Amino acid sequence: MSKQKRRKFSPEFKAGAVEMATQPGVAISHVARDLDVREGSLHEWMKKARGEAARPLKPSSPTGETEREELVRLRREVTRLRMERDFLKKTTAFFVRESH
């Protein structure tokens, strides 16, 4: 019995396959069949892609600190804007009631 050669796929191919498989309404089994890869391989590629995307930034990296500072600033801004929006809603409702 002859052994089959192990196929190797480029990172670009894997990324494209993961992107196709993560589209809404698309079955992973169909993508695997269309691309002629094992479903298990596609699941592994997806798991690795999620792991890389979810990996936290290193605290020692300079861009990581800048991004954290920006995140804090943006969260504060969102809170302030929500308060302003709520105030304007209440003020508008008050004036609408007073004019009737």
Distance (Å, rounded) from C-alpha 6 to C-alpha 9? Answer: 10
Considering the domain boundaries, does residue 4 fall inside one?
Answer: no
Q: In Å, how far from its chain's centre is CA 36? A: 26
User: pLDDT 10s digit of each residue in the chain, 100 long?
Assistant: 567 788 888 888 998 889 888 888 888 898 899 899 999 999 999 999 988 766 665 555 555 668 888 999 999 999 999 999 999 999 998 888 888 7
Domain shared by 64 and 28, yes or no = no
Q: How many domains does the chain have?
A: 2
Please spell the DSSP secondary structure of 25-40, one letter per residue: T--HHHHHHHHT--HH
Domain shared by 13 and 50, yes or no = yes
Query: What range defines the domain where residue 86 resides?
Result: 58-100
Best CA proximity match to 70, nearest among 84, 57, 86, 83: 57
Predicted model pTM: 0.49
- Beta carbons within 8 Å of 14's beta carbon, 6+ residues apart: 45, 49
